[in-house]
Amino acid sequence: MTDPDAGDVDVDRAIHERRELVNDAIVERLPVQEPARLYEASRYLLDAGGKRLRPTMLLLVAEAVTGTEPLTANYDAFPDVEGEAVDVMSAAVSIEVIQSFTLIHDDIMDDDDLRRGVPAVHREFDLETAILAGDTLYSKAFEYMLGTGAPPERAVRALDRLATTCTEICEGQAFDVEFEGRNSVTTDEYLGMVELKTAVLYAAAAAIPAVLLGAGEETVESLAGYGLDVGRAFQIQDDLLDLTTPSEQLGKRRGSDLVEGKRTLVTLHAREQGLDVDSLLPDDVGEVSEADVDRAVTRLEEAGSIEYARETALDLVSSGKANLEPLPEGEPKELLAAIADYLVEREY
């Protein structure tokens, strides 16, 4: 439910405007060069689309902590709290590049065929090139973060946060894989895994610009808390969309999490209600149809598991928005609250 205190801000327009700026920056800062196949693969998912939610969040935080009017400053030379120029767009590209790196490797691990409506990188190119593309994006992200021109002490703190975030993402992915082979996983364990695998990158997107621009430590940590909460809500909504959104709109096979036996908040709650989740789909995953997924979703709805996941996501969004309190009032703060709502209201 959209926050009534968010005013008349147009969150779709705000995302679109900043997405276009980020897209232009990606083209400029990650050109296709030799070896061409490597850089074509590195750019492949970035060029395929994406909402750029994390870099949009980063740019909005930059506006909010400095009291800058939206879209009036040059993000390549953004004034910090002391009026010195910081290239926050370089940090925004860094965060988006990390996101693309995780998607490439995630698709390899899951052997997925589609991402963003196009063949996964390892399908479009080959496994070896996809691994190298992911590794290239990972290293480029640190190069971009180092290129913000922020004072050295702030730059080191931002790099440290980015490095920690990348380690935590890998830890979260490892837990995700481990959970697939375990008979019992609790909802608390799942939320901890989601925090590492997904939410920490949102936390980095929210906290790093505050670090680079010289905001106080209380503000930095509050923004990190905002990112963690809305990031977990984002992943829960992703889990719901995997079950409820048509494949052509989702950009990948509908019900893939259920087919692959992934633990989600929906299926964990269903198991706690006594539902045999393993029997929801045919044993031969190659024969799973849209009708099979529809029947599975109906049973999950009857168990109350779909609603439970939705309510949990809404509670996390509410908690996340409370962490915006230290920010000065203004349109950027309102947009950050509106984006939190958007993360659980989006339909794909």
The CATH number assigned to the domain holding 319 equals 1.10.600.10
H/E element, 36: helix 36-48
The predicted pLDDT at position 259 comes to 85
State pLDDT tens for residues 290-324: 899 999 999 999 999 999 999 999 999 999 999 99
pLDDT at 4 over 70: no
Name the residue with tokens 């099979």: 292
CA 65, 208, 25, 173 dihedral sign is negative
What's phi and psi for 118, nearest 5 deg? -130, 165
The predicted pLDDT at position 147 comes to 97
The predicted pLDDT at position 347 comes to 79
Buried b (16+ CB within 10 A) or exposed e, 311-333: ebbbebbebbbebbebbeeebbb
CA 150, 152, 154, 157 dihedral sign is positive
Rg of the chain in Å (alpha carbons) = 20
pLDDT at 120 over 60: yes
Domain count, the chain: 1
CA 286, 291, 297, 303 dihedral sign is negative
Higher pLDDT, 254 or 77: 77
Range of the domain at 137: 4-345
Question: SS3 for 218?
Answer: helix
Q: How far, in Å, are 71, 91, 112, 164, 329 from residue 201 at the CA level?
A: 23, 12, 22, 10, 25
Q: Kindly indicate the confidence band of residue 251, based on its pLDDT and cuts at 50, 70 and 90.
A: low
The pTM of this model reads 0.92
